[in-house]
Structure 1
């Protein structure tokens, strides 16, 4: 195959040595061209994807797309991941089962910060990676070294340029490969043309090649000796340490291209074939012994309508056949996806990524084996929700169906949470933003035929009192036979915030028999669950000071009724005040977005506690603040609108405070 062109489809076969199929996860921000690049890679491998853009539009933006292909007798699985930070769980899951990541970006240095979450995810996963600067033909007068410098500010791994652009008339028309020292001119729709390195590029090529050699020499003594002696390294001198460093995650090579025009695709394939670890090496990195029973891991779950539940899994050891039992469940079908289209196969071999049918009792992230006793492989925990909606059926008859649909929704996407608020009675759908939950609501309609209404969740306000108050209440009723009689004098006093409810009995001289005292305490606590302002009352002490009883007509019920009457009046006289929950909020933003984040917080009645650079996140800050929960509903939407869609936050309850307005 030439430096850029289309290869014929190869027959499905195992690569020499039986290394097994390899998996590439394509990640990067929205608009970088990941899906276009995926299609270009498939086309170059002779497996052009089906042209069903309309059917694929939703999936391409919100869900990981799996496609298989064969390149030069080697099998590959491509995982095209969503670009929005709101679907980061899909990205993290794909990285957990990939051999290498392909980080796709644009050549604009101003957009480099958008890569920071991806760089951090790669470091967390310990996954080898390459960077593909897409749309390189739009670089214009910009310098690729400026793009690399901007990216490097957000990556702890060294980024090393593999190619330098060739310009003609101000346009980028090709590249020089720094390892082979060969130059190619791109030709749309045709193979690239091998050309002599232009004179205008030679000095830059020498400079960039020296920088590459110096970066690789850090871990290769033989190359280091040549660098020190100022000896020009051969291509083999560079290929060897480059392969080792990429596989070890020691550095990320950077390649150039333009997926829409099919520029640089063949060279990218060559780099992937040379440097991507095989599945055995990846399994070893994950701590899996090469010997033993078959092992697989589920990284994604999909409910495919009439097709039933599909569990997408990577086979890490051995083979899994259709009908085999894993973790106590029987596999009901094994599906591959050549060029993205499903096709049944009898079994899946080590290294393959396939969909396993009917594993209804096995959760996303589970490690599968026939015995079910293999230690769990690492899998990312879902992020805490940053946005929530209260949902309800438009028709009450669908309540049971809604419960089942929500369960399937959380099985498909573990970063979605469902909670029924015991206090408000609302069903709360939590997720990573308005787009994320909008997609979830659409799934309820499209996949389950459920139309739901969404509203802003209600805040769980509380009440307390500002000063003490005393009230006497008497309950008397005569209905024939035994009547009802109880007399109590109660005092309510405020307690320090967070001390809760307390009851004290100061009855002396038998004014109220001891057997009735517990009923007074229980009734007082029950009465505090709804105060004069309609909310639970907290941080109060109730003292029973005096009372009276009747030897025949007094009872627990009568004293409970009298207590409730006394509590109602005493609380109203004690100057009740509304309390609102205040959360401790930690906002994570690129450093140039820190002032905007601070303004946003103060505009929402937030108290800034400070900010500092985020550890292990070069170029990013954490801003700490105390913010009323009532102000947090759409915080994530405004935060992302002011930080190029990148800002996020975590929160935890901190304390209750008197409610106030802006």
Structure 2
């Protein structure tokens, strides 16, 4: 969905009408950056007649519209939507970013889609990041076809790419990855295609490659997934292309065959892909609805409305736009809606205009039926993943899982005016991007943006400045440290002041001893003979607690100590609550000056999911990070789960470094574990840096 939500040069055109869910195909294009997704989207839009190559465009669109689409996709930071029509079917093409930092956009697109076209460049190998994306689609349960792009490159070898895909994606069954077309090459480049099922040719089709062996393997694979076709095939019957296409559709729906098509940058093969999408990809009624909707329920335009927010964007001219996937019911403009998040009370709102994006334009829609994607204006409370339903039949869908943001970015407002706008800008930003987490760290006082990686952090800071008008400066991130006593010590606190009238008088003696890690704070009263009156003993404890928060060494909170009040003195007139609070704090500081103060650092439990081939580099890296590796366990074919305890000081950039170590295939989770004493050399180094 384009962030420039509407054309400001004229009225928006009417979007294509859809009478029912069977006339819809929601398709996500999945691939790594550089695999040709943007070019493929353009080719499909051109082939479908949304615009023409000669600079002329179909009714209701402009050349600048598509330039805006292309610009959005090339920025590769947001999910974009391009609807096209083909053979009476509306195809919603969803193009999420290919960069690993924006996996949240991909997962949103997977929820909105019913099938995927997986783009593989003929000039690049099938790498770890490609396999990771394939597995994301598999976990979402999406049927997949494979588009081999860049087939017009001089060194493109379709047979080589096909063999690599069969080895990587077939899960031990090479028949699962089947070519639908073969490229026709001339002068060393692909100039056309020949369809294996129908024998039809497209583009320059001379000389034709031998097709019979590939066609026979394809027919056998299709027949093997359908009992009737298999019986006819084994009986020697000739299966026509119509029967085979129907069989292929069933195999695609059951995710047992992944069709493969070759494509070029000039659009050769795009028509074949559009035909494949319409003839074999699932319509919304062919797919299960998200939980907790009943498993046997299917999209019904006449049922109560249930939809989900896939994306939010902000535009300075038209305000917020929310992209919804309609699962059941029909949405009309100006309709009352109930917006419900995973937690909290639902909020009733009203739908503004309904639109469908095309570049700079938002084409108006008079309704959106079950299965379709639609933009709705001014849903002020809607966040990504929220459920939108009929107030008379409220629903709350399970949101999809999001990648955990693990890269901390500490920021400060650039000026006082920026500080005034910062909270509102961050609220709008987090409503648009649920993968950024905003934290006001109470221990360090820092404002921290938790991001998924450096590219994501760059985009977040850019959006704060450009979309929300807030300039911020990035500052070094500080890990919240603690202090504790290295040994037992006593301290004397004395506050005696007399300046006319009531003075201040309080004396107390404390004994401070360290406790085991994680114990916290204990206060013990051992005063005898009423040396400190009973009603002032809580005052001493209050003063000690206040000093614990401030710390006694480098300003870090003091923890895991037992403080015992052993003696003191009071004055019948000049003693007060405030005086004994001050004396308690002074006594604690005095005790701290008589023993070593140890610096404590937080330790996290870390679980690293990685391919087996990268275990060695990851183990070596963790040892440098002072980690204690607890062990590994199998986590699927060719993957392991490594568990370790790692100081959080060593994890501030681990999200970036792990990705580099594993070539984009590793991931990790972390959870707070405990505080431990920091090595003396490192503590001294930090203290010197603070001076």
Task: Establish whether TM, by shorter chain, passes 0.5.
Answer: yes
Deviation at 1:350, TM superposition (A): 3.2
Which residue is 1:586 aligned to? 607
Q: Does the 8 A contact of 1:154 with 1:619 survive in 2? A: no
Residue-pair matches, total: 637
Q: 3-state DSSP class of the match of 2:126?
A: helix
2:639 counterpart (589, 607, 620): 620
Q: Secondary structure at the match of 2:421?
A: helix
Which residue of 139, 152, 176 maps to 1:124? 139
Distance in 2 of aligned mates of 1:174 and 1:372: 55
- Counterpart Cα distance in 2 of 1:178 and 1:587: 44
Q: Could you say what secondary structure the match of 1:573 adopts?
A: coil
Contact kept? 1:32, 1:104, Cα under 8 Å: yes
Whether 1:78 aligns to 2:93 is yes
Which of the residues 555, 559, 579 maps onto 2:580?
559
Distance 1:67 1:55 in 2: 8
In 1, Cα distance between the equivalents of 2:360 and 2:48? 13
Runs of 4+ in 1 over 6 A off after TM superposition: 153-158, 227-232
The secondary structure found in structure 1 opposite 2:473 is strand
Structure 1 residues 452 and 103 mapped into 2: Cα distance closer, same or farther (>3 Å)?
same
The CA distance in 1 between the partners of 2:506 and 2:170, in whole Å, is 75
Shift of 1:55: 7.8
Q: Give distance in 1, aligned partners of 2:174 and 2:583.
A: 72
Residues 243-272 of structure 1, C-alpha deviations (whole Å, 9 max, x = no match) = 123223x32413122241312211111111
Match of 1:42 among 26, 45, 60: 45
* Residue 514 (structure 2) pairs with residue 494 (structure 1): yes
Structure 1 residues not aligned, in runs of 5+ = 1-9, 185-190
Aligned to 2:318: 307
* Among 502, 511, 530, the residue aligned to 1:510: 530
Structure 1 position 508, deviation (Å): 2.1
User: Is residue 475–residue 558 contact of structure 1 (8 Å, CA) maintained in 2?
Assistant: yes
**Which residue, out of 10, 32, 35, partners 1:32?**
35
- Does the aligned pair in 1 maintain the 2:31–2:98 contact within 8 Å? yes
1:153-201 per-position Cα deviation (integer Å, ceiling 9, x unaligned): 7899984213364575765565554444x264xxxxxx425578644x5
CA RMSD of aligned residues (A): 2.9
Hey, what does 2:165 align to over in structure 1? 148
Flag structure 2 segments of 5+ consecutive residues without an equivalent.
1-13, 52-61, 339-347, 683-691
Q: Decide which of 43, 57, 71 is 1:57's aligned counterpart.
A: 71
TM normalised by structure 2 equals 0.85
Deviation by residue 1:342-385 (Cα, 9 ceiling, x = unmatched): 22233323333121111112222222223164322333133221
Contact 1:255 1:268 in 2 (8 A): no
- Equivalent residue, structure 2, for 1:243: 249
Instruction: Say yes or no: does 1:385 pair with 2:405.
Output: yes
CA contact (8 A) 2:330 2:369 kept: yes
Deviations 1:484-515 (A, max 9, x none): 22222111111111111111111222222221
8 Å contact 1:160–1:212 — kept in the other structure? no
Q: How big is the shift at 1:122?
A: 2.1
1:3 corresponding residue in structure 2:
none
Q: For 1:620 and 1:173, how far apart are their aligned partners in 2?
A: 41
Please give the secondary structure, in 1, of the residue aligned with 2:105. helix
Is the counterpart of residue 274 in structure 1 residue 279 in structure 2? Answer: yes
TM-score (norm 1): 0.88
Tell whether 2:124 aligns with 1:89.
no
Query: Equivalent residues in 2 for 1:193-342 (5 A)?
Result: 193=204, 198-199=209-210, 202-203=212-213, 205-206=215-216, 208-209=217-218, 212-213=221-222, 217=224, 219-225=225-231, 235-236=241-242, 238-248=244-254, 250-282=255-287, 284=289, 287=293, 288=297, 290=300, 291-327=302-338, 328-338=348-358, 341-342=361-362
Bigger shift: residues 160-169 or 508-517: 160-169
2: CA distance, partners of 1:613 / 1:70: 46
Relative to structure 1, the CA distance from residue 53 to residue 240 in structure 2 (aligned partners, 3 Å threshold; closer, same or farther) is closer
Looking at structure 1, the residues matched to 70 and 313 of structure 2 have their Cα atoms a distance apart, in angstroms, of 15
Does 2:118 correspond to 1:103? yes
Query: Secondary structure, in 3 states, of the residue corresponding to 2:517?
Result: coil
- Shift, 1:462, TM fit: 0.7
Q: Is the 8 A contact 1:256 1:264 kept in 2?
A: yes
